[in-house]
Structure 1
Amino acid sequence: MSGEVLHAQTVVIGAGVVGLAVAREMALAGQEVLVLEAGPTFGEGISSRNSEVIHAGIYYPEGSLKARLCVDGRQRLYDYCRSRRVAHKRCGKWIVGAGTEQIADLEGIQERAGKNGVDLQFRDGKCVERALPGVRAVAGLWSPETGIIDSHGLMLSLLGELEDAGGQLVCGAPVLAASVESCGHALTVGGREPCTLVARQVVNCAGLGAVPLAQIWEGLPDSQRLQQWLARGVYFSYSGRHPFNTLVYPIPEPGGLGVHLTLDLGGQARFGPDVEWIESENYSVDPGRASRFAAGVRTWWPGLDECRLQPAYAGIRPKLSGPGSGFADFRIDGPGNHGVEGLVNLFGIESPGLTSSLAIAAYVAAMLC
């Protein structure tokens, strides 16, 4: 790239898992696709800082984009991983109720999951404790469709298929400004070789940066200038042996799904994420939070050894509703929403964004192709 004005058919901003999935889908549909990534390589933002869980689609309101795209995306993702040999495991998960007052919560979760077409099986405490030795529970829900995935392997596969279809990824290319023009959208691209890039179609998949970018996009209606909140969640790994071969979740808490136990594909356990509302992007992990983690986990696993908790990493959820504001759906706004041709903005793509990525890609492509 140089300081001149360049032209492109379709530009995807952001090379996280959703951006790569969208770019691949567009390229397979015959578009000439260029992906712009601000960072030095793909997938280093929120796509690499999550639980790597393939969600079943349990918690989301019936008919919401999160519910529809998670359920659709989960099946697409399992099929994709099998056919492309992306490492994954359908290990299932338990949602456990540690006290009798949580039985009604479990029943509500099961009812919501059923409305989304998700298989979720109610079990009494004895059944849970047989399946999860050492866990204290009065009842639980078993989700056989939940799994785990190598998210980096998934992104490598998506990128390879994008490039095979003629698409291109350019890293170190932040979009500094944008405007609606008669011929499409003009993007001011920074980096080592800054330029102005005029694209007929643009998909804003910038993750944490999607809302800030839309706020400065000249020519967009006010409906696209949203407020965003940041919810940081930290993870602690658990060193040594443990008794689990499946995921274990407590009852969800405001802003997240509670401090839960997940496994990587090597079987190592980790706990998280919690929820901490922050003002700016910050991925630090305070080792002092281990005591709070331990107290929460011991409500359902009394045998946890706090000394084996080690700070791991942090992720940030881009929220479209702040503390205490309740559920906010994905926002995938195309020309039918905002009236601007050739533009799709993806806002609030938090969990289950990884699970939904292939379904989101198909949804976006249907707006533009």
Structure 2
Amino acid sequence: MLAYVPILRARDGEFEALRHMRDRVARSVMPLLEVQKQPSIKPAKPKPPVPGAKIRKQRAPKPPKSLQDYLSEVAAKLADAHGDRPFFVDMYAFGPADRVESGEHVYTYFCGELQSRGMNFHAVVGIDRWSDAEYRAAVGRALTMNGGKALLRLEAEDLEDMADPTMFDDMLGDVMDECGLVAQSVPVLIDLGDIRGRPLMDLLPDVSAALEFLRTRGFVQVVIAGSSMPTSINEAVKKQNSAGFLRRVEMILWKALLPSTPGVRVVFGDYGVRNPRSNDNIAPDANGKIRYTIANEFFIVRGHSMAVYPNGEQMWRLADHIVASPHYAKEDFSWGDAMIKVCSEHMIKGNSTQWISYDTSHHMAAVVAEVFEYSRATTGISLLNRAY
């Protein structure tokens, strides 16, 4: 049974966090991995010549991998990091009809790579893409590879379509029939995406109505996911070299819905420590930062530009700020917490990708603990150690 569904990018930072996930956390986490497009490679700017120095020929940038090679590499990294644990997989960043060089649909190609590595993947059926015939065919082939294991993904716009129940029921019935799915056994994801600036009192009635709609259609397990993390850290903490708190509205929303939705098991989901729309390109002048998850909030310590002295060494001070705070969960809480402690002792600095790993590692452990404690206090039911 699901307990927590983090929507994570299929990138090196997230892979490393999954690799180091402790067993007690892994038993309660079933991530949704979103495969991203291949990062674009920009040629480096030529440095101005030094008078009298020998002029060296600039090396041409390496050509990008083929899409097939890139997707095969992502699948191999995911298999190495996550092993045979179950997960959902989606390719939301790609077009519904995108293909690899051989002409095969990107989704079936990637799922084939996962299947060849013996991975326990569950297909994501995106309602927003269902109208595309090539996408429908690709999802059907993916379901034949994994024994029909699926998750229905609804976007915020899909909730608006529920206002016309006849039209939505026709579309939903088409999805369920064509995929061979049964409402009682397939989970649904309500993906609210970026919910910054959306008041809780506006979200509650919309999501409550959607849950009731799904309940009357026989669905019994619904994941509610969203993100309060901004695309840029300066939107969360205005001043450089300072700290602040950011409300995790997605968690507060889940806590409000859990005891008030009889007949439906409401599962918590989020986007980890990233905003759904944040850019994967690493800027050389990005600010040093640690996003540390605590109850209902992110505790964020912000440094300054990595291009400004003391550059990466600023992370020592930021890590020490976390470790010295009353919010620090101690180094044995997660691999990420252990790495924060090591950084505070000036033994590592970490790059942007590594800090996504450390922050995500702590985040997943913190969310599992928070979900477990709130579920036990509210319903008397322990979600920990249950498997999907």
Q: Which has the higher strand share?
A: 1
Q: TM range, normalised to the smaller chain?
A: under 0.3
Higher relative contact order (CA 8 A, sep 6+): 1
Q: Which has the higher helix share?
A: 2
TM-score (norm 2): 0.27
- Which structure has the larger Rg over C-alpha atoms? 2
TM-score (norm 1): 0.28
